[in-house]
Structure 1
Amino acid sequence: MLLVLAALPVLLYRMGAFLPHTMGQSDMDWAREVERENSTGHESAEGVIATGNGFSVVGYTNSRQPGVNQAWVLRFDKAPPPRWQRTYAGNGKLGTSGHAISSMPGGGLIVVGAERVPGGGFQGWLLALSPEGDVLWERTPGHEGVNGLNAVSVLEDGSIVAGGAQEREGWVVRMNSRGELLWEVKLPQLEHVTALVALPAQRVAVLGTAETSTVGPGISRLFVLESDGRATRETRLPAEGQGELNALALLPDGGFAVTGRLLRPGAMDPSVWVARLAPRGETLWEYVSEATEVGSGHAVTALADGGFAVAGYSWKELLVDREARVWRFSADGNLLWQQAHGGAKDDSGSGIARLADGSLVVVGTTMSKGAGKTDLWTFGLSPEGQLLWEETFGAP
């Protein structure tokens, strides 16, 4: 989604180059007005991580410098206001989008996403930050194109693994704590990596999607990479049919919690899909929301009791707008509670984390609340789902 938003001004600019030959002046004025409207006033949260007794959020804003997306990092204690917040434009100063965040040893942060490059393309981007948000180093591995990084984790030795897409193939890079490349691997079975988590012995579990289309979900695959990047295990998900998984969390028993969307046999639209996997990738149980509820899970976090919580969205009537959704499951697959959050317009949950005190923090994007067209949105929940606090961050 962020790549689409980031590319919109570029697309409209290119349209302006040839539209005089195909459109009337009023149509050109409309396109330029759309570009102006979308060049500022948009903020989004894409990921959240528990840090110390609080949490840190990554996303993007185009309000600080209209027409230029900037990665946006906010660090909180237990609740708003943020302890600090900063934006980062990347080496080329053409703009960046932050897609995922992880904690570094010593309290620092590692952010990954995409940096815009001359010519309208993108490439993978990593940013290492001190505990107070100062830039320690910045890297842009890989090639220019419609590329980027969507997921990041830190291994036991302090090295960093990040995953995304390079030339429409799944792509994973590993760097040491100084940002020096250790290895990179392509996973041609995937079109892009959606999530990854660190495993013992410097291994990593990688989740990604393939066979994607604009008319329905494709499929997902879960890989285990050894410390040298070799893939030693592969699991197709779902075993049959179509479904795409967006998020992955490691559970205390070495298994995994995953979430995304699944197309039921005979259904027209996909529904929210949640599953628990054994350490070797076999499905132990799965939950698919009612066929009439169209939506997707986008983030998952493990809980102390062996269960997990999921954040995402479901579409409202006629697929006009979305509402943010949060689900909590027990270890054996019982749905303990689910809630809708938001308002009359479009709202979505994109990240969730369990904090040190056991509460949950959810982040996403809202059009129903706040000052702007789309605002970065965060709210806290008790383990039982009670709303503890809520805040938006944005500009008109």
Structure 2
Amino acid sequence: MMIRLIVVSIAISFAFTGFGQVPPIVWQSTFGNTGNEVMHSIAATADGNFMVMGIADVNGDEVDCDLKGQHDVWIFKMTPTGSIIWQKCFGGSKEEANPYNKIIATSDGGSMFISESWSKDFDATGHHKYSDVLTIKLDANGNVEWKKSFGGKFYDVPRNLLELPGKRYVIVSRSTSSDGDVPPNMDPVKFDAWVFIVNQMGAIICNNVFGGTGDDDLYKVLQDNEGNLVLFGQTTSMDGDLEGQIVEGTDAWLLKIDTTGNVLSSKVYGQSNNEAWRDALPAPNGGYFAFGITEDPGVLVDKGSYHGDDDLWAVKLDGNYNMQWQGVYGGSERETMMQAVAAPGNSGFYLAGGTYSVDGDVVKPSSNGNDEYVVKISPNGTLLWSFTHGGTEKDYANAITATGLVAGVAYSTDGDVIGGAGNGDGWIYKFKDKKTTLNQKQYEYPEGYNGEVVLQVLPNPARDLVAIDFGGINGIFEMVLLDVTGKIMMQKTISLDGSKRDESIDVSAFDDGFYILQVTGEKLFQSVQMIISR
């Protein structure tokens, strides 16, 4: 018989779950005082620091700026270790608060932010009626270069912001207005996606609404290699720019336009329940990675599994926007998805949000499940690790960076949270991801081996006993259980002759966390991720 040599490479990622395995917090800080403070957005600057955007309503402790109203926009420049370099507050006498408020560092060394605003005074110049998109351009020291309130007489809400070549800026919002700065809405009651481009002085140079007679919302904008804009969000429409699409409930929506607003492509993704995209990143060889939520038990999952309610949802699209794979992660309760970033070294993606779950992929949550939730997946969607941070109250993440900074809010004063006042403090911490190591082992297989996947681990997550279902195949197999450092925790040889299809192993002596189960046979090699959680 002809034998070929196969080198099997198993990526063992440090799985940050369980008390001994959570990614270590390098530093953390709560920002605020007895008022209510929330961090919404964070952006790296060219000098190695960070611009942070949040809200504040009371001066004191870290908050030291010219507050004007109920919640003002709080902007500060921060060192990589959490020290405030300078800070400013912006807004008016009413509310400037929205979880999708956004700040970006600009190519001229300054920054620019968008915020929902209900104010008609102070910085909210030119306000229309209800909520507007307050947009302010700052120089490198936080001085205002220009400020505008964009909108109409109804509801105009910011979503995303991107700098384009030539010091132009595309602002993504949603709107029910049909006057003021906003082109006619396709439905006078429901939201349309509103996308407009401004020049370096804040003048609108391109202005369009997109959608149909349902509710339409776009959360992320990217520019492709041809200079066109690709946007990601959600829709309930089947007319207008969604003509010919089949939408059930709320579906994820991809829209491609040129920089004058002509629609080049419009496509929906989803099944019978609700799906939505919140973020997206370009793929190295064309296409996109899109990230959001799904609450569809019928989702055709390639990676992970649907657990219940809203789960995190990751999708890989090719250059023609066809789905190549999708992964689902979370627990039986609701997860929220706020931001995704590429992890260093092409090692995958960090997804940040919140969770109410205490099961599934959510390992070691707090007792009430209201925690920040951060997930790392590989470039092909495999769950590498997840962690929750927080205390006994509600804590959630709004932003994450590739360097491991997580920004959000902590209502807790216990658990992982140090120094909080308890009324809602801006919470920023840095975690340390550990590099993926590669273990290689050589196995000899007969010619024609096709790596057929037949193995199942039940239950997964496990507590004490695990059944390994071999799908009815026969043979002699070597089972090896590895921890996340590659250490062999268990090794045994079993023989299956058809009289039984599974083998049980006792994991009661092992710590909570992620493990790798390797099974080797004459015509089988499979590596399965297993979670132990009690």
Name the structure 2 match of 1:230. Answer: 262
Which of 312, 317, 328 is the matching residue for 1:272? 312
Residues 63-78 of structure 1: matches in 2 within 5 Å? 63-64=58-59, 65=67, 68-78=70-80
Counterpart code for 1:172: V
Deviation at 1:338, TM superposition (A): 1.0
TM-score normalised by structure 1 residue count:
0.78
Q: Are positions 1:210 and 2:243 aligned together?
A: no
State the TM-score, normalizing by the size of structure 2. Answer: 0.59
Alpha-carbon separation, structure 2, partners of 1:279 and 1:130: 37
- Alpha carbons of structure 1 residues 130 and 201: separation in structure 2 relative to 1, 3 Å: farther
How many Å separate the matches in 1 of 2:250 and 2:256? 20
Structure 1: any 5+ residue segments left out of the alignment?
1-39, 386-396
Aligned twin of 1:259: 291
Distance 1:116 1:43 in 2: 18
**In the alignment, which of 350, 354, 362 is matched to residue 313 of structure 1?**
354
SS state at 1:383 partner: coil
2:206 to 168, 175, 183: 183
Out of 331, 334, 343, the position equivalent to 2:382 is 334
- Report the AA paired with residue 193 of structure 1: L
Residue in 2 that maps onto 1:374: 424
* Distance in 2, Cα, partners of 1:301 & 1:117: 33
> What's the CA shift for 1:199?
2.8
Cα 1:264/1:291, change in 2 over 3 Å? farther
Moved more, 247-256 or 221-230: 247-256
1:97-156 deviation per Cα after TM superposition (whole angstroms, max 9, x unaligned): 360111211211110121214697211121111111111111122213221211101113
| Higher relative contact order, chain-length normalized (CA < 8 Å, sep 6+) | 2
User: What is the CA-CA distance between 1:317 and the residue it aligns to?
Assistant: 5.5
The answer to whether the Cα contact below 8 Å between 1:324 and 1:347 also exists between their aligned partners in 2 is: yes
Contact 1:125 1:148 in 2 (8 A): no
Q: Secondary structure at the match of 2:150?
A: coil
Which structure 2 residue ranges, 5 or more long, are not aligned? Answer: 1-33, 60-66, 121-127, 177-190, 238-247, 299-306, 360-366, 414-419, 436-534
Whole-angstrom distance in 1 between the partners of 2:200 and 2:227? 14
Q: Is the 8 A contact 2:51 2:78 kept in 1?
A: yes
Distance 1:96 1:57 in 2: 15
Question: Matched residues in 2 for 1:72 and 1:326: separation?
Answer: 24
Aligned to 1:47: 41
Q: 1:377 to 1:290 in 2, by over 3 A?
A: closer
Does the 8 Å contact 2:249/2:273 carry over to 1?
no
Residues matched between the structures, number:
338
Give the letter for the 1:131 counterpart.
Answer: A
- Residue 204 and residue 133 in structure 1: after superposition, are their counterparts in 2 closer, same or farther (change >3 A)? same
Contact 1:344 1:368 in 2 (8 A): yes
* Preserved contact between residue 201 and residue 227 of structure 1 (Cα < 8 Å): no
- Residue of structure 2 in register with 1:153 after alignment: 162
Q: Contact conserved, 1:223 with 1:231, CA < 8 A, in 2?
A: yes
Between the aligned partners of 1:230 and 1:120, the Cα distance in structure 2 is: 29
Percent identity (aligned): 20
Per-residue displacement from partner, 1:331-359 (whole Å, max 9, x unpaired)? 122222111111111011111122xxxx2
Distance 1:303 1:291, change over 3 A: closer
Cα deviation, residue 268, structure 1? 5.9
What is the CA RMSD across the aligned residues, in angstroms?
Answer: 2.8
User: Which range moves more in the overlay, 100-109 or 318-327?
Assistant: 318-327
1:57 alignment counterpart: 52
d(CA) in 2 for partners of 1:290, 1:379: 22
Write the letter of the residue equivalent to 1:72: W
Find 1:173's aligned residue among 196, 200, 204.
Answer: 196
Q: Counterpart in 2 of 1:132?
A: 141
SS in 1 for 2:84: coil
Name the SS of the counterpart of 1:48 in structure 2: strand
Q: Which moved more, 1:298-307 or 1:223-232?
A: 298-307
1:364 aligned to 2:408? yes
Distance 1:147 1:290 in 2: 32
Shift of the alpha carbon at 1:293? 4.5
1:70-114 deviations in Å (ceiling 9; x for gaps): 111122221211222211015xx4342360111211211110121
TM superposition shift of 1:384: 2.5
Q: CA deviation at 1:218?
A: 2.2
Distance 1:137-1:66 versus aligned 2 partners, 3 A rule: closer
